[in-house]
Amino acid sequence: MAMLQMSTNKAAGSGGGDGQLAETAVKSSHKEESYAGMVVRRFKKHKLAVAGLVIMTLLSLGAIMAPWIVPHDPYQVTEAFEAEPSAEHLLGTDQVGRDVLSRLIYAARVSLMVGLGSVLISVTIGTVLGLVSGYFGGLVDMAVMRVTDIFMSFPQLMLILVVVSVVGPSLTNVILILGFLGWTGAARLVRGSVLSIKQMDYVKAGVALGLGTPRILFKHILPNALAPILVNATFGIAGAIVSEASLSFLGLGVQPPTASWGNMLTDAQSLTVLTSQPWLWLPPGIMIVVSVLSVNFIGDGLRDAMDPKSLK
């Protein structure tokens, strides 16, 4: 160790020009893996998260390629209504004779769009508000956090029901409503991270170097708060999928004939369907559970992988 320090000392004295000394100094600071590499390695250890990622990838692929892989037109009404699963209709048909499997695949598009769309909106709003609130503090913080509190104290579902009944149910509206109501968690989370990050010396060093405030906020603080934001976003996706399903189940979400897992479940409100036609409600129910579970597992995995405090 003493030798090493002497050698770096000499290297410093000669301006680091000496190749051999420089060689030893670099070898001593052994090559460490990048942050992204570490996250991937740690994520892979989380078996459930990997399984979740595989399922979500397949689901997404299915949703994107739906027009080419569905066996039937999901809106095509046929005479074979309420048909049991068969070779022709793998998951049977619904009350008006539409192919359940095709509808199920198309419905994945709705769920994923709602999940991603609304989370994109809510995380963007939440992140910006949280950053501003945490960094500037004082009155700004006060104002933003009180607004957040107000939004949080609304009974969410009831508010959504009221808004939907005012603006009318549609896929776009569901995305917008969930997005504009769901930002509170992200805002608080980001604010918390910013409060601790802004005390870090590298932020002070940035100010001392003459960097402007927006630059410090978005280019130096935000990247450091990205891990919790990302984890929060994955859980947000799961929440949005469930919310959409509930809304559609209640008839206030995506409107028929567009298929969504939620409105497909509506059929299960009838007792006969519930007891004797499980192919109508079991598949969408399972899809909701599987997709939400997968997203949650991914979130769990990400949290463990990205948390610098957890053990390598």
Partner 1 sequence: MEHLLTVNRLQTAFRTDQGEVISIDDVSFRLKAGETLGIVGESGCGKSVTSLSIMRLLGAKGRISRGEIIFEDKSLGKLTEAQMRDIRGNDISMIFQEPMTSLNPVFTIGHQMIEAIRLHMSLDKKAARAYAIEMLKRVGIPRPEVMVDEYPHALSGGMRQRVMIAMALSCEPRLLIADEPTTALDVTIQAQILELMKKLKQESGTAIMLITHDLGVIAEMADKVIVMYAGQVVEETDVFTLFDEPKHPYTQGLMQSIPHIDAEHGERLASIPGSVPSLQNMPAGCRFRARCPHAMEKCEAELPPLIPAGKNHLTRCWLAVQPASMAKEAAYG
| Binding footprint of partner 1 on the chain (CB under 8 A) | 5, 8-9, 11-13, 15-17, 21-23, 25-26, 29, 31-32, 34-35, 137-138, 200-202, 204-212, 219-220, 223-224, 226
**Closest-CA residue to 63 (of 55, 43, 139):** 55
Q: Which is nearer to partner 1, 224 or 246 (CB)?
A: 224
Residue 3 Cβ, how far from partner 1 at the closest point, in Å?
12
Residue 226 Cβ, how far from partner 1 at the closest point, in Å?
8
Residue 215 Cβ, how far from partner 1 at the closest point, in Å?
8
Q: Which is nearer to partner 1, 67 or 223 (CB)?
A: 223
Q: Which is nearer to partner 1, 89 or 220 (CB)?
A: 220
Q: What is the Cα–Cα distance from 251 to 266, expressed in whole angstroms?
A: 8
Residue 11 Cβ, how far from partner 1 at the closest point, in Å?
5
Per-residue tokens: 285:
């129910």
Phi-psi region of 297 (alpha: psi -120 to 50; beta: other; left: phi over 0): alpha
Q: What is the Cα–Cα distance from 31 to 48, expressed in whole angstroms?
A: 30
Q: Which is nearer to partner 1, 238 or 306 (CB)?
A: 306
Q: Which is nearer to partner 1, 25 or 287 (CB)?
A: 25
Q: What is the Cα–Cα distance from 174 to 240, expressed in whole angstroms?
A: 9
Residue 207 Cβ, how far from partner 1 at the closest point, in Å?
6
